[in-house]
């Protein structure tokens, strides 16, 4: 994709303090950022050109819900500043009110650090930063309340904010390119807890690497621990457990070394761990330890994507391996399900999904990359397959909606859905990003459709992808010098 081919130098941004908790959230809907009672969606264009600022500064669009319901929206841009706004976006409840909060990462943001002379600072390219935009009546406005987060020690090329996960009052931030423990690109994760009178004050983060006491495995060059993260109930106590993907970790299965096979680690109650002494508790797996249905191999990239959801109160972790080879189909991709453990027990494998198996529609084809993106919408698993083609249109993309049952594997209850564009176009990459949007609706990123990208809103029970893009009458057009590049590269709802 275009955005992965660019190397950007970004401006230094300053901290913005948190504001007081807003009024007006008492009647907020389930996926409502501004508290007006209607579900909303946020879309990121990380390489777009905001008006009057630097090329590729990035921007966000707020798709405000209306009384008519989706797909009727009033889409307007708002500009977070500080570079590459909208590279990664996640919604969740952080401060305890009913309005959704939005977390947006800029992993290529250039930071600064003391130069050692005592006279000034030096730039830190690719340090990365994260902004939390607080839900409330002023959400989406230029001066809306937010707080900025940076790694306590900014590191060159760490890409803090590459991945995000939100659970009530807790935020996990991945920095997979951090040279943790002196090992190049081994990766780290930062775990924040929010508190204070308004629930908006971040505590000092816990920094977790594969060398932290009790964390399974060890840091190796190029592991990229923290490429993906998820939070949820998987086997610990009442606090959320942390799942971390390291898709470029090398593994050894049966005496055979496998490069970039990938691994997933779950840490129990990491917010209560000390990181010293016995430290954290957890469990780690490579793909060969979870399934025999698909042989593990080098280049599987297990842990490339992660998502947490629940079925009847039981937690499930979905882990993508988009370059796994089901039925010897090269890079067709799979998703491995992991079920919450019983009290005092580790999580257990709960089935392996790929196209054409386990109630999943379609057939696996080479290089589809099933599992490239993941989300849960209610009790349904949503799987993006952005490189899927239909024969006439390569890489037009697709999305699967897979109902869960308590074993984890679909196929026994409601049928799944296959979502495609009604008018597919070559290299659309529908499914690059996926999210629930409240009320059973889905929002799907289509960042390479035509010149500027698009998003699709998909109603409950339907495979109809309703495309929206700036200037279509529902989303405001770009103004002045503003340009779109990858609208839909990140979505949140």
Give pLDDT tens digits for 85-106: 678 999 999 999 999 999 999 9
Condensed to tens digits (0 to 9), the pLDDT of residues 207-260 reads 999 999 999 999 999 999 999 999 999 986 778 999 999 999 998 766 788 999
Q: How far apart are CA 402 and CA 488, in angstroms?
A: 22
Question: E strands of 159-223, at which residues?
Answer: 163-167, 170-175, 188-195, 201-202, 206-208
CA distances from 70 to 162, 247, 443, 477 (A): 30, 36, 10, 19
Looking at residue 359, its pLDDT comes to: 81
Please list the residues that pair with 131 across neighbouring strands.
104, 148
Instruction: Output the six-digit token pair for 77.
Output: 């841009």
Are 142 and 111 in contact, with CB atoms under 8 Å apart?
A: no
**Domain regions of the chain by residue span:** 2-492
Examine the pLDDT at 412 and tell me if it is beyond 60: no
Percent of the chain with pLDDT over 70: 87
pLDDT band at 51 (very low <50, low <70, confident <90, very high): low
Q: How far apart are CA 41 and CA 31, in angstroms?
A: 8
Helix, strand or coil for residue 270? helix
Looking at residue 76, its pLDDT comes to: 87
Contacts with 271 (C-beta within 8 Å, 6 or more apart), sequence order: 170, 191, 193, 206, 239, 240
The candidate with the shortest Cα–Cα distance to 320, out of 354, 365, 366, 349, is: 354
Examine the pLDDT at 449 and tell me if it is beyond 60: yes
Instruction: Output the six-digit token pair for 91.
Output: 């919604």
Burial class (CB in 10 A: 0-12, 13-18, 19+), 112: middle
Examine the pLDDT at 381 and tell me if it is beyond 90: yes
Q: At the fourth CATH level, which superfamily is domain 2-492?
A: Integrin alpha, N-terminal (2.130.10.130)
Q: What is the mean pLDDT of residues 454-469?
A: 93
Looking at residue 374, its pLDDT comes to: 99
Burial class (CB in 10 A: 0-12, 13-18, 19+), 344: exposed
Q: Which residue has the higher pLDDT, 16 or 27?
A: 27
pLDDT band at 482 (very low <50, low <70, confident <90, very high): low
Examine the pLDDT at 16 and tell me if it is beyond 80: no
Where b means 16+ CB within 10 Å and e means fewer, 357-372 reads bbbbbbebbebbbbbb
Q: What is the mean pLDDT of residues 262-289?
A: 85
Q: What is the DSSP string of 70-118?
A: TT-EEEEEE---SS-BTSEEEEE--SSSSSPEEEEEETT--EEEE-SSS
CA distances from 233 to 57, 188, 346, 357, 430 (A): 37, 21, 11, 27, 30
Phi, psi of 315, rounded to the nearest 5 degrees: -80, 145
The candidate with the shortest Cα–Cα distance to 460, out of 429, 479, 478, 438, is: 438
Q: What is the DSSP string of 295-326?
A: ---TT--BTSEEEEEEETTEEEEEEEETT--G
Examine the pLDDT at 375 and tell me if it is beyond 50: yes
How distant is the alpha carbon of residue 268 from its chain centre?
20
Looking at residue 116, its pLDDT comes to: 57
Examine the pLDDT at 3 and tell me if it is beyond 50: no
- Strand-strand pairing, 464-468 and 417-421: parallel
Percent of the chain with pLDDT over 90: 70
Q: How far apart are CA 384 and CA 372, in angstroms?
A: 6
Helix, strand or coil for residue 465? strand
Examine the pLDDT at 132 and tell me if it is beyond 80: yes
Examine the pLDDT at 195 and tell me if it is beyond 50: yes
Condensed to tens digits (0 to 9), the pLDDT of residues 291-321 reads 999 999 999 999 999 999 999 999 999 999 9
Tell me how crowded residue 164 is: count the other CB atoms within 10 A of its CB: 25
Q: Which residue has the higher pLDDT, 119 or 206?
A: 206
Examine the pLDDT at 262 and tell me if it is beyond 50: yes
pLDDT, the chain, mean:
88
Looking at residue 423, its pLDDT comes to: 93
The candidate with the shortest Cα–Cα distance to 349, out of 417, 415, 399, 296, is: 296
The candidate with the shortest Cα–Cα distance to 157, out of 205, 224, 73, 100, is: 224
Are 203 and 191 in contact, with CB atoms under 8 Å apart?
A: no
Q: Which residue has the higher pLDDT, 409 or 72?
A: 72
- Strand-strand pairing, 380-385 and 398-403: antiparallel
């Amino acid at each position: 994709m275009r955005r992965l081919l660019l190397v950007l130098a970004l401006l230094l941004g300053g901290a913005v303090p948190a504001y007081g908790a807003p009024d007006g959230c008492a009647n907020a809907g389930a996926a409502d950022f501004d508290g007006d009672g209607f579900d909303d969606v946020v879309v990121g264009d990380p390489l777009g050109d905001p008006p009057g600022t630097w090329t590729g500064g990035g921007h966000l669009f707020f798709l405000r819900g209306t009384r008519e319901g989706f797909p009727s929206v009033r889409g307007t841009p708002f500009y977070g500043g500080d570079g590459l706004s909208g590279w990664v976006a996640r919604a969740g409840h952080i401060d305890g009110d009913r309005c959704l909060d939005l977390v947006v990462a800029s992993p290529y943001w250039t930071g600064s650090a003391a130069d050692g002379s005592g006279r000034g600072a030096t730039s830190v390219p690719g340090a990365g930063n994260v902004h939390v935009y607080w839900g409330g009546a002023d959400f989406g406005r230029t001066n809306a309340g937010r707080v900025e987060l940076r790694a306590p020690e900014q590191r060159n090329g760490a890409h803090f904010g590459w991945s995000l996960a939100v659970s009530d009052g807790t935020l996990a931030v991945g920095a997979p390119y951090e040279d943790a423990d002196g090992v190049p690109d081994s990766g780290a994760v930062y775990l924040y807890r929010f508190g204070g009178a308004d629930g908006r004050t971040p505590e000092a983060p816990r920094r977790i690497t594969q060398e932290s006491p009790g964390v399974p495995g060890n840091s190796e060059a190029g592991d990229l621990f923290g490429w993906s993260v998820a939070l949820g109930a998987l086997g610990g106590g009442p606090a959320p457990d942390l799942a971390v993907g390291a898709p470029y970790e090398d593994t050894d299965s049966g005496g055979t070394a496998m490069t970039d096979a990938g691994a997933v680690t779950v840490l129990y109650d990491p917010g209560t761990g000390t990181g010293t002494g016995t430290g954290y508790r957890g469990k780690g797996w490579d793909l060969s330890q979870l399934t025999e249905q698909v042989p593990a191999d080098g280049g599987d990239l297990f842990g490339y994507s992660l998502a947490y959801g629940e079925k009847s109160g039981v937690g499930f972790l979905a882990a993508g391996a988009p370059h796994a080879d089901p039925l010897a189909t090269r890079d067709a991709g799979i998703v491995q399900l992991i079920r919450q453990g019983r009290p005092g027990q580790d999580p257990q494998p709960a089935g392996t999904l790929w196209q054409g198996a386990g109630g999943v529609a379609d057939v696996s084809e080479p290089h589809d990359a099933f599992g490239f993106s993941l989300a849960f919408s209610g009790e349904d698993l949503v799987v993006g397959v952005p490189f899927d083609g239909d024969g006439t249109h390569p890489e037009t993309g697709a999305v699967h909606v897979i109902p869960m049952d308590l074993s984890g594997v679909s196929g026994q209850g409601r049928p799944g859905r296959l979502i495609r564009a009604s008018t597919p176009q070559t290299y659309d990459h529908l499914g690059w990003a996926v999210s629930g949007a409240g009320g059973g609706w889905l929002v799907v990123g289509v960042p390479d459709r035509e010149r500027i990208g698009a998003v699709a809103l998909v109603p409950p029970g339907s495979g109809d992808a309703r495309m929206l893009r700036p200037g279509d009458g529902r989303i405001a057009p770009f103004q002045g010098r503003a340009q779109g590049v990858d609208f839909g590269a990140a979505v949140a709802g």
